[in-house]
């Protein structure tokens, strides 16, 4: 091995040792943070404890909920727009995002102006109960009966806002 090679080997070895040490450190810290040592003791005695697992999973769920609440809180209008947008994305985009089945496209002002002129109540009613027009068939709730009337309404509000 030449001078250069052994230098490379040495650097590499140090680097790998460093990585291993770092991994061990992370592992130990993670064990402490998740109460892993405590739970391991329990399983060592043969008591597989579901609640211990639930405990470890719970904080993650709480963080997610807290995040959602924080996002939904504060500005009520923003929250409505957000959920309307979500409903649109999951239940309406297939047609209204692409123009499939003759659906007026999101943001196509020419296609929406006459419809918007019908008034919000009519549009929401058509979206909830279904509607057959010159262009095609708008299925009730976009073909998703699991949606609440409010969810459909917020989606219509979102679509109308984008079509103005």
Site for ligand HEC in 66-95 (CB under 6 A): 87, 91-92, 94-95
Vertex 100 angle, CA 97 and 101, to 5°: 135
- Applying CB under 6 A, which part among 7-15, 39-47, 75-83, 135-143 lies near ligand HEC? 135-143
Token pair listed for 8 = 């490379």
- The site string for ligand HEC over 102-131 (x = CB under 6 A, - otherwise) reads xxx----------x--x---xx--xx---x
CA 57, 60, 66, 67 dihedral sign is negative
- Applying CB under 6 A, which part among 1-9, 17-25, 49-57, 138-146 lies near ligand HEC? 138-146
Q: Residue 93 to residues 74, 142, 156: CA-CA distances in angstroms?
A: 28, 9, 12
Q: What is the rounded distance in angstroms from the CA atom of residue 37 to the CA atom of residue 110?
A: 65
Token pair listed for 109 = 């002002």
Interface positions with ligand HEC (CB under 6 A): 87, 91-92, 94-96, 101-104, 115, 118, 122-123, 126-127, 131, 133-139, 141-143, 152, 155-156, 159
């Amino acid at each position: 091995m030449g001078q250069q090679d052994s230098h490379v080997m040495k650097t590499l070895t140090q680097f790998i040792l460093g990585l291993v040490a770092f991994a061990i450190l992370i592992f130990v810290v993670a064990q402490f943070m998740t109460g892993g040592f405590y739970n391991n003791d329990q399983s060592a005695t043969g008591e597989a404890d579901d609640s211990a697992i639930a405990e470890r999973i719970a904080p993650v769920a709480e963080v997610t909920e807290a995040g959602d609440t924080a996002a939904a809180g504060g500005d009520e209008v923003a929250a409505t727009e957000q959920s309307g947008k979500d409903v649109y994305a999951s239940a309406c985009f297939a047609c209204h995002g692409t123009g499939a089945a003759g659906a007026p496209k999101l943001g196509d002002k020419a296609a929406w102006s006459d419809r918007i002129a019908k008034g919000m109540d009519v549009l929401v009613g058509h979206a909830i109960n279904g509607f057959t027009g010159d262009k095609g068939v708008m299925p009730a709730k976009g073909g998703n009966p699991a949606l609440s009337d409010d969810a459909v309404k917020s989606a219509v509000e979102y679509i109308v806002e984008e079509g103005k």
